[in-house]
Amino acid sequence: MRFNLGAALLLLGASLTTAQTVNDDPLDILALLQEQVKEKLEEDALEVRGLGGCTLANVAIRRDWDHLTKAQRRNYISAVKCLWELPSVDPTFSAAQNHFDDFVAVHMNQTNFIHGTANFLMWHRYLIWLWEQKLRNQCGYTGYLPYWNWFKYQDNLNLSPLFDGSDTSLGGDGHFFAHNGSVVGAGRIWLPSGAGGGCVKSGPFVNKTINIGPQQPAMQGYLPVYNNVKTLNPRCQRRDLTMAASTSTFTAANLLNLTIGPASQSIGHFQDEFQGPYGTLRLHGAGHYAMGGDGSDVFTSLNDPAFYQHHAMVDRMYWIWQVLHPSEANKVNGTITFRNNPPSRNGTIEDFLDVGKLGPAIKIKDVLSTMGGPLCYIYL
């Protein structure tokens, strides 16, 4: 089975149905894609050398959370806790009480200009890289940003080392909170409730306070507060691990479509399919809605610390796609407003990625390669 699928994958652009009939375990497919990417990177080793001398010999490697040792997970967790202790760097966002909140605030303020836009993938790539750098440079983290492999444990996220509620997870499910599921996909899709919805019950962040939002949570019964980065709303972080989101969407068909199927043919198709055509649920959204609670809020999902592992996986998919589709890898597609509403100009690779006071505004073209410009990392 693996052999046949491997052959199918070699024919990049092979029809989706051909590949699908060979094997429908998305974890196997992902492993084969990763293998292909590794081979390509080795073949292209000379060309991928970045400005800063980034090579396959010195590149940082971002790993699956599950593959970190417990000591490495504790190191990551204590660094995240450290961000909560650092002061906010931007008084404009007066609701931000600490540096953890600064990330939430910057994202909230930019939401309509970084989703459904030309810069979606690059803006989030840059933001999570800055997060990784802060953890390393200011909070004693010695590893690199771990990602959440969506395709594992999707039937029961409670068993996942990321969400099992242990002291080496990013917290478990929320306390039970009676609610009527979540409404997603522009109001067209209803996801039934999980077993949580209230404050996260266990794990290292139980007593941490979040301060900003919610602004537009998908979870019903979780009422938004005023949409303003100046509105202080101290509270616990909420979660509702929602398997209806993960199992419906983290499928072989969606993975194949994005990486080698019809949706992989251009950056436009890729990013639009990734975020979901209007009224649909696709991989990017499914991670958010599988977290539920605060993680389900397009404006303030960064209140769930697992946001960064979710977006590392988004970035990993983008990276896999870029390596496999070099002729499209350096392009952007789309405008500078959310689904072009209100209508705006087309984005370009010369556009700046504005992250407020979290870091310098740099150009899209500087983050198109994870081994060029300031970036130097790959995924394993």
Using CB under 6 A, list all residues that contact ligand NAG. Answer: 90, 92, 109-110, 113, 180, 183, 190, 206-207, 253, 257, 261-263, 266, 268-269, 273, 333, 345-346, 354, 356
Nearer to ligand NAG, 32 or 353 (CB): 353
Q: What is the smallest separation between the CB atom of 16 and ligand NAG, expressed in angstroms?
A: 7
Residue nearest to ligand NAG (CB): 268
Q: What is the smallest separation between the CB atom of 369 and ligand NAG, expressed in angstroms?
A: 20
Q: What is the smallest separation between the CB atom of 58 and ligand NAG, expressed in angstroms?
A: 34
* 3-state DSSP of the chain: CHHHHHHHHHCCCCCHHHHHHHCCCHHHHHHHHHHHHHHHHHHCCCCCCCCCCCCCCCCEEECEHHHCCHHHHHHHHHHHHHHHHCCCCCCCCCCCCCHHHHHHHHHHHHHHHCCCCCCHHHHHHHHHHHHHHHHHHHHCCCCCCCECCCCCCCCCHHHCCCCCCCCCCCCCCEEECCCCCEEECCCCEEECCCCCEEEECCCCCCCCCECCCCCCECECCCCCCCCCCCCCCCECCECCCCHHHHHHHCCHHHHHHHHCCHHHCCHHHHHHHHHCCCCCCCHHHHHHHHHCHHHHECCCHHHCCCHHHHHHHHHHHHHHHHHHCCCCCCCCCCECCHHHCCCCCECCCCCEECCHHHCCCEEHHHCCCCCCCCCCEEEC
Q: What is the smallest separation between the CB atom of 261 and ligand NAG, expressed in angstroms?
A: 6
Nearer to ligand NAG, 59 or 200 (CB): 200
Q: What is the smallest separation between the CB atom of 355 and ligand NAG, expressed in angstroms?
A: 8
Q: What is the smallest separation between the CB atom of 6 and ligand NAG, expressed in angstroms?
A: 22
Nearer to ligand NAG, 61 or 190 (CB): 190
Nearer to ligand NAG, 34 or 248 (CB): 248
Nearer to ligand NAG, 56 or 253 (CB): 253
Q: What is the smallest separation between the CB atom of 376 and ligand NAG, expressed in angstroms?
A: 27
| Cβ contact 110:104 at 8 Å | no
Both tokens assigned to 344: 């705006």
Can you tell me the distance from the alpha carbon of 203 to that of 166, in angstroms, rounded to the nearest whole number? 5
Nearer to ligand NAG, 49 or 269 (CB): 269
Q: What is the smallest separation between the CB atom of 92 and ligand NAG, expressed in angstroms?
A: 4
Nearer to ligand NAG, 64 or 173 (CB): 173
Nearer to ligand NAG, 275 or 370 (CB): 275
Q: Output Rg (C-alpha) for the chain, integer angstroms.
A: 20
> Locate tokens 């996801």: which residue?
191
Rounded to a whole number, what is the distance in angstroms from the first to the last CA of the chain?
23
Nearer to ligand NAG, 205 or 377 (CB): 205
Q: What is the smallest separation between the CB atom of 42 and ligand NAG, expressed in angstroms?
A: 29
Q: What is the smallest separation between the CB atom of 260 and ligand NAG, expressed in angstroms?
A: 11
Nearer to ligand NAG, 53 or 187 (CB): 187
> Locate tokens 């002291």: which residue?
167
> Locate tokens 């940003």: which residue?
145
Give backbone dihedrals phi and psi of 337, rounded to 5 degrees, phi first: -125, 150
